[in-house]
């Protein structure tokens, strides 16, 4: 996904915030999906939730980043049946691996690979190799 840099800079801060709230990592094709809130994700992703909550993203309710700011609005992929199927989840709007381009919407300075990988804690890798 390519950002129209100039357009972004020309927008008023309020518009920027609104767009950020809708989901800076999402594309326009996700318009039909709604945000459900981090509490819903917590049920199944407690490790990620707990570490996110104590990070600046979780603490700053206004300028921080919600789960769905990075992973896309969750109403379509939220159910276990969809979440367990990476293909279906993606089709329903899940951004499994958010890219650095999305971080740039809020962060002016370059984001390192390490910052991207440690933006919240991760579940330890289970024995099955293809899933985390």
Tokens 């909550």, residue located? 53
Among 1, 115, 124, 129, binds ligand HEC (CB under 6 A): 115
Interacting residues of 72 by C-beta distance below 8 A, sequence separation 6+? 23, 25, 26, 30, 33, 93, 94, 95
Retrieve residue 113's tokens: 């690979």
Which of 20, 1, 3, 123 shows the shortest CA–CA distance to 66? Answer: 20
State yes or no: residue 30 binds ligand HEC (CB under 6 A).
no
Size of the site for ligand HEC (CB under 6 A): 49
Binding residue for ligand HEC (CB under 6 A) from 8, 22, 36, 88? 36
Shortest Å, Cβ 10 to ligand HEC = 19
Using CB under 6 A as the binding rule, whether residue 11 contacts ligand HEC is answered as no
Q: Determine if 123 is a binding residue for ligand HEC (CB under 6 A).
A: yes
Q: Which is nearer to ligand HEC, 3 or 60 (CB)?
A: 60
How far is Cα 40 from Cα 49, in angstroms, rounded to an integer?
A: 10
**Cα dihedral 98, 83, 122, 53 in deg (nearest 10):** 80
In the list 52, 76, 92, 93, the residue contacting ligand HEC (rule: CB under 6 A) is 52
- Rounded Cα distance between 24 and 15, Å, is 12
Q: Where along the sequence are the contacts to ligand HEC (CB under 6 A)?
A: 20, 24, 36, 38, 40-41, 43-45, 48-49, 52, 55-57, 60, 63-71, 74, 78, 80, 83-84, 86, 96-98, 102-103, 105-107, 111, 115-117, 119-120, 122-123, 131-132
């Amino acid at each position: 996904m390519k950002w129209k840099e100039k357009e972004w800079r020309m927008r008023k801060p309020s518009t920027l915030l609104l767009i950020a709230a809708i989901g800076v990592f999402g594309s326009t094709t996700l318009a039909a999906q709604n945000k459900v809130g981090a509490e819903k994700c917590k049920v199944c992703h407690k490790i990620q939730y707990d570490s996110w909550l104590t990070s600046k993203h979780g603490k700053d309710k206004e300028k921080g980043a919600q789960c769905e700011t990075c992973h896309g609005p969750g109403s379509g992929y939220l159910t276990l049946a969809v979440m367990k199927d990476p293909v279906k989840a993606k089709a329903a709007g899940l951004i499994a691996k958010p890219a650095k381009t999305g971080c740039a919407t809020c962060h002016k300075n370059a984001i390192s690979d390490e910052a991207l990988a440690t933006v919240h804690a991760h579940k330890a890798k289970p024995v099955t190799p293809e899933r985390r």
